[in-house]
Amino acid sequence: MKILLLTSSLGAGGAERVATTLCNAWSARGDQVTLMPTFSGHGECFYELSSTVRIVYLADLVSRRKKSFVNQITRLRALRRFIATERPDVIVSFLSNVNVAAVVASVGLGIPVVVCERTDPFVRQISRLLRLACRFTYPLADALMVQTQAVATKYASSSWDLRRVRVIPNPISRQMLDLQHHDSVDGRKRLIAVGRLDEGKQFGMLIKVFASLSRRHTNWSFRIFGEGPLRPVLQQQISALGLTGRVELPGRTMSIGEELVEADAFVLTSNYEGFPNALLEAMAVGLPCVTYDCPSGPREMSMEGKVAILVPLNDEQALGLALQRLMLDADLRQALGSSARASVIERFALDKVLEQWDSLFEEVGAKH
C-alpha cells in the first residue's frame, strides 16, 4: 500500500515521534511510505527514520518560502500536484493546520484522507481562524482519528458533522519495550520529567513542589528533559530555591529510554495533553508514575489511577503527597512500575496499534 503521511516538521515533538514510529513500521512490512514535512524549512529528523521511508519536503516543491497568503496558496497547489501525481492509497495527516491543508489539497482526487488530532482541541488554545478552518474541513475527511475516548466523546456531542471518528492510541516502539527499569544500587534516587519547557507543562510549579520535599528526601534528585522558552526562568528558580545540583535541566536527549531506565519515578504535570508519549514511555519501561488528571490521556492511560497515581488537576498538595508516597515506599514503586509496564504491553504495543490502523484504512476504502 502507498501511504503518504503529512506532518509539520521532523523536530523533537510527540507527533513527530509517533509519525516516525508508524512510518518505520509500515515500511518494514513492505508498504511504500512517503513522509512529508510541510513547514517552510528543512532540518534533520530528530528521531531515527528508516532509509526505506522516502522523505519529501513540501518546501522543495515551491520556489518561494517567505510566509504570506500568496505563498500559502502556492504551497497548497504544490501539495495538490504532488498528491495527484503520486496517487497514494491513503493520506494520513498530523496536527490541525496540516490536517486543513491535507483536506483542501486533496478535494476531488478520490483519495481517502485520515486527519489526526494529537491533543485535546476542546482545551488547547488555537486561533479562531484555525478552529473555523478545522470546523469546515474535517467533515470532508474520510475519518478523524483521535487518541482517547474522552476526545472522541467530545466530538460526538458537538455539532461537527463528521463522517467517522475513531480512537487509536499512540504505539510504544519495540525498542522501548526492550528496555526495563532497574533499581539504583547506590541509594541515590532520581525523579524524572520530560517535556517542552513552556507554560503548559507547569515545570515551575513542579520544581516548587519538589523543593518542599527535598529537605526530607535528601537522597532524591530531579531531572527535567526538554527545551523551551522558560529555560532561563526555571534555571533562576532552581538557583533561588537552593536546588542547584539537585534539580537539573539537561535539555533534549536522543536516548530518553536510557534515562528512563536509570530513574526511579516519573511525574507529569501538564495543563492539557493529547496522549502524552513521555508518560507512555515511562510506564513502558516499568517506572512508577504520578500524573495530573489533565484532559486528555492520563486518565485512560493510567486505567483511572490503577497503574499510575492520578492526581486532581493543579492540586499541588495532592501532587506533593503522591510524590512523597513513592519516595517513601520502595515496594509501592516496584508494584506500580510492574503493573504499568504490563498494562502498556497489553494495550499499546506497536503490533496491536498497527492492527487498529489497518482496520481504519480498510474502513475508509484505502486500496491494498
pLDDT in tens, 121-179: 888 888 889 999 999 999 999 999 999 999 999 999 888 899 999 999 999 988 888 99
Q: pLDDT class for 12, splitting at 50, 70, 90?
A: confident
Residue 70's pLDDT is: 74
Collect all residues with Cβ–Cβ distance below 8 Å to 109 and sequence separation of at least 6.
80, 83, 84
CATH number of the domain located at residue range(s) 2-171+349-363 in this protein: 3.40.50.2000
Residue 368's pLDDT is: 60
For residue 182, pLDDT beyond 90: no
For residue 48, pLDDT beyond 90: no
Between 89 and 15, the higher pLDDT residue: 89
For residue 86, pLDDT beyond 80: yes
Residue 42's pLDDT is: 67
Q: What are the residue ranges spanned by the domains of the chain? A: 2-171+349-363, 175-347
High-pLDDT (> 70) share of the chain, %: 96
Q: Compute the average pLDDT of residues 72-82.
A: 92
The residue with cell 519495550 is: 177
Question: Mean pLDDT, the chain, as a whole number?
Answer: 92
Between 90 and 255, the higher pLDDT residue: 90
**Range in 33-42, 63-72, 265-274 the model is least confident about:** 63-72
Model confidence pLDDT, tens digit, residues 206-225: 999 999 999 999 999 999 99
| Structural contact between residues 117 and 274, judged by C-beta atoms closer than 8 angstroms | yes
Q: pLDDT class for 181, splitting at 50, 70, 90?
A: confident
| Structural contact between residues 59 and 41, judged by C-beta atoms closer than 8 angstroms | yes
Residue 16's pLDDT is: 87
For residue 199, pLDDT beyond 90: yes
Model confidence pLDDT, tens digit, residues 318-341: 999 999 999 999 999 999 999 999
The verdict on domain 175-347 having CATH code 3.40.630.30 is no
CA 298 to chain centre: 12
Cell numbers standing for residue 229: 522558552
Residue 41's pLDDT is: 67
Give the Cα-Cα-Cα angle 266, 270, 272 (nearest 5 degrees).
Answer: 135
Residue type, 239: S
Residue 62's pLDDT is: 84
Residue 87's pLDDT is: 97
For residue 40, pLDDT beyond 80: no
Residue 65's pLDDT is: 60
pTM above 0.85, yes or no: yes
User: 175-347: same fold as 2-171+349-363?
Assistant: yes
The burial of 254, by beta-carbon neighbours within 10 Å (0-12 exposed, 13-18 middle, 19 or more buried), is given as: exposed
